[in-house]
Structure 1
Amino acid sequence: MTILTEHGSRVDVAYEWLLTEITGFRLRSGSPLSENKIATQLGVSRTPVREALQRLEKEGLITRTDNSRFTVAQISRSEVNDACDLLGALDTYIFTKAASRLSETDAQLLLDSVERMSAAAATGDRVAWSDADLFFHRTVNEIAGNRLVAETVKETRRRIHRFWLRASTHQNRLQSCSDEHRVLTEALVATDIDAIGPAVEEHIGHMRDGILDMIAGAEALLGEY
């Protein structure tokens, strides 16, 4: 049991280090990632590093080349804009469809998750906030019931979410984003279809602006990212 705990902590250390380096733009898009170099730098074996890389690959922050080597995934202004355009259209569809299928139990689940977001925002706990946000969107996707759209949304959001979360923490945006989720939930509960589109547009617009500002800041310090 102790061995598993120690191994898990090493994976977490490697994961958090890589996540910070990537979302802080110290590891640039397209940079190769050497398991040996990272393991040596962190003072761990290659196994937890490999597991951390695989975890980040699932989150869309790392990709594999044709020869199965890990590299930092691309994150450019163009990709951010494309991802946000797609999320805006698909989220509007999902929330609109979910509004017609929402039960009282579903509504309470969403309201509870918004409360958890607000509580996490108040303490600056971005991990707890992210968990509540993930639950919120997963629940809405399940209510809407379109598995294909849900998978597309999940994959698209996953590629930019970590950058947005870092930007929002630095810009003290977690609370206002929690409020935006509350507005969306209230529109769902009221089956106010006309309110859903503008609420989604505002939410995605802030996400877009936060990440683009972060990229601009990185470019000011590091040159073209």
Structure 2
Amino acid sequence: MAVETASLVDVAYENLLARITSFQVKAGAPLSEVKISKELNISRTPIREALQRLEKEGLVQRTEASRFTVAQISIKEVNDACDLLEILDTYIFTKASRTLSEEDAAELRRSVTQMSDASDANDRTAWTEADRNFHQILNRVAGNELVADTVRETRRRVQRFWIRSTVGQFDRLHTCTVEHGQLVDAIINKDVAAIGPAVTEHISHLRENVVSLLTTVALLTGDDQA
């Protein structure tokens, strides 16, 4: 029964995530558990758990009346988040490079290979999983849980929209994979001087793609994303 519930939570989560990141529902729009339950033919408990997961990722927020609505994400928030990611990723990668074992290095190489395979197959889900593994390895090796938690939550909020921006843009996954490979080379070689610029380039592309997506949506819908 628990397995079935977990599976239904995943179904509800993926459905709602797709609606939000494809802007099928606007920022501020209410997310009724009853309505969604009827639409998906799923009981309210999995729907509620899916909404709570999205709330943790910053894509959904709760009103004073404890009702769920779609969270606003502005261009300023994207820029603020990317500024923070640039600082914290540089810190994590630099710290991890000092104590990286051969086994950790091999895991990082495998994660980039998995990204490359997923990019070739245009499999965004598999690519995202490989990217998650990449950052989990480095967060673990760096050993600062407070920083890891902060960067994890910040990345989730922005990256969901970045993944959406890759739809029909096959080169974006490939470019991002190449950048991860360059980062791994710098980290494994303990080339601290190369880590900062590589992170800056990587985050700048993330920033550009998400801002471009939000700007396009604003032009099409008339919403102010400033």
TM value normalised by structure 1:
0.93
Q: Unaligned stretches of 5+ in structure 1?
A: none
SS at 1:170 equivalent: coil
Q: 2:25 aligns with which of 24, 27, 47?
A: 27
Q: Report the equivalent of 1:145.
A: 143
Structure 1 residue 16 displacement after superposition: 2.1
Q: Report the equivalent of 1:55.
A: 53
Q: 1:48 to 1:77 in 2, by over 3 A?
A: same
- 1:122-141 equivalences under 5 Å are 122-141=120-139
Q: 2:66 aligns with which of 53, 65, 68?
A: 68
Q: Report the equivalent of 1:184.
A: 183
Q: Report the equivalent of 2:112.
A: 114
Q: Report the equivalent of 1:17.
A: 15
Separation in 2, partners of 1:102, 1:13: 37
Runs of 4+ in structure 1 displaced over 4 angstroms? Answer: none
8 Å contact kept, 1:87–1:204? yes
Deviations 1:198-224 (A, max 9, x none): 110111011001111111111121111
Structure 1 residue 56 displacement after superposition: 1.6
Q: Report the equivalent of 1:220.
A: 219
Deviations 1:74-106 (A, max 9, x none): 211000000000000111111111111111111
8 Å contact kept, 1:124–1:169? no
Over aligned residues, Cα RMSD in angstroms? 1.6
Separation in 2, partners of 1:158, 1:70: 19
Q: Unaligned stretches of 5+ in structure 2?
A: none
Size of the aligned set, in residue pairs, is 223
Separation in 1, partners of 2:163, 2:180: 15
SS at 2:73 equivalent: coil
Moved more, 30-39 or 192-201: 30-39
Separation in 1, partners of 2:168, 2:135: 23
TM value normalised by structure 2:
0.92
- Percent identity between matched residues is 56
Q: 1:164 aligns with which of 162, 165, 190?
A: 162
8 Å contact kept, 1:98–1:143? yes
